[in-house]
Structure 1
Amino acid sequence: MYTLLSGLYKYMFQKDEYCILILGLDNAGKTTFLEQSKTRFHKNYKGMSLSKITTTVGLNIGTVDVGKARLMFWDLGGQEELQSLWDKYYAECHGVIYVIDSTDEERLSESKRAFEKMVTSEALDGVPILVLANKQDVETCLSIPDIKTAFSDCTSKIGRRDCLTQACSALTG
């Protein structure tokens, strides 16, 4: 009887879990984006002070419930040494959010190389990608068309998967 009731409870209240990787170079705003997302979807979550967010060494994990789905965000460090570990997480993910610092034109080519390496991984074949052009609240930032132009030769590597480029400001929401 317990097994039957336990199974019914799990069936009724269990949420489908999806793992979303948050990738991008260091200082792109990945952790700020994650913290702001958690405060938006958790009514009682106060969040970390945005001024105290530092470079991620390793990984930050955040969980957000949306309807009957549970999204588990894995914010991976973006330093060059840590990028070699990204592919260890690909097999488990259902989606990728790639964050670009729109104000750092000097590192745009480095970001493009990291994106290219990520998008050509067979483990991510068919996995949808959201590209966030972060820091759009800064006047001197690159526009979405500028970023799309810089990443244009990656288009063929994206293939037939869903991909969207979106402007955002992790600080202001």
Structure 2
Amino acid sequence: MYHLAKGIYQNLTRKEEYSVLILGLDNAGKTTFLEQLKHVYSGRGLPPDKIAPTVGQNVGHLKINEMYLKIWDVGGQRNLRTLWKAYYTEAHAIVFIVDSTDRARIEECRDTLRAIVSDQDTEGIPVLMLANKQDRDDSLEVEDIKEIFNRIAEHLSARDSRVLPISAIKGTGVAEAADWLTSRLARNKQYRPPDLR
């Protein structure tokens, strides 16, 4: 009887959960963005001076705008990027973070994003590109970042996509990015339904 009651209770209290991938080259600010999301939406999160480079992955579970998110921050070192594909089929959205100050690798960044959105397993899911480190004087303008993004627009077909400026270290633009993301996850629910947890 206990197992039946437990099963009924678990079924009635299951929640919809969306998986979000945070991708980008190493040192783009992926983990800092995740920690800022944790700080804004749960009151927890590491301060920027305590964040170390990600080797492997970090996972955060957050409730943002009445929506439960499982957020995967996956390391961006070149040897780890081949592992990203393993996450694509489970992802409901991708947040791609660009270091706006890393002019030397901006073409590599563009090629990496093109490979992600060209993969059949990411077809139809929202892609949010964040131009990070906009608080720095040496950062590229958001319009320049958008130009890079526009060059791969033909691979995005009809899916939702956007470029937004942020400073993950200061938290500027983080709430706006979360708002865009949750609205697009809700809109895309029919195409890629949430998991039940």
Q: Which residue of the partner structure matches residue 31 of structure 1?
A: 31
Q: How far does the alpha carbon of each residue in 1:128-150 deviate from its partner, in whole angstroms, 9 at most, with x for none?
A: 00100000111221111101112
Q: Which residue of the partner structure matches residue 148 of structure 1?
A: 146
Q: Which residue of the partner structure matches residue 55 of structure 1?
A: 53
Q: How far does the alpha carbon of each residue in 1:23-59 deviate from its partner, in whole angstroms, 9 at most, with x for none?
A: 000000000000010111113x2x2231121221110
Q: Which residue of the partner structure matches residue 80 of structure 2?
A: 82
What do you get for the CA RMSD once the two structures are aligned? Answer: 1.7
Structure 1 gaps, min length 5: none
Choose which of 128, 139, 152 in structure 1 pairs with 2:126.
128
TM-score by length of 1: 0.91
Structure 2 gaps, min length 5: 172-197
TM-score by length of 2: 0.81
Percent identity for Structure 1 against Structure 2: 42
In the TM superposition, what is the alpha-carbon distance from 1:102 to its structure 2 partner? Answer: 0.6
Counterpart secondary structure, 2:53: coil
How many residue pairs get aligned? The number is: 171
Q: How far apart, in 2, do the equivalents of 1:68 and 1:110 lie?
A: 36
For structure 1, which segment, 12-21 or 125-134, has the greater mean C-alpha deviation from structure 2 after superposition?
12-21
**Letter of the 2:132 counterpart:** N
> Are 1:16 and 1:68, in contact at CA under 8 Å, matched by a contact in 2?
no
> Are 1:15 and 1:68, in contact at CA under 8 Å, matched by a contact in 2?
no
The runs of at least 4 consecutive aligned structure 1 residues that moved more than 4 Å come to 1-8
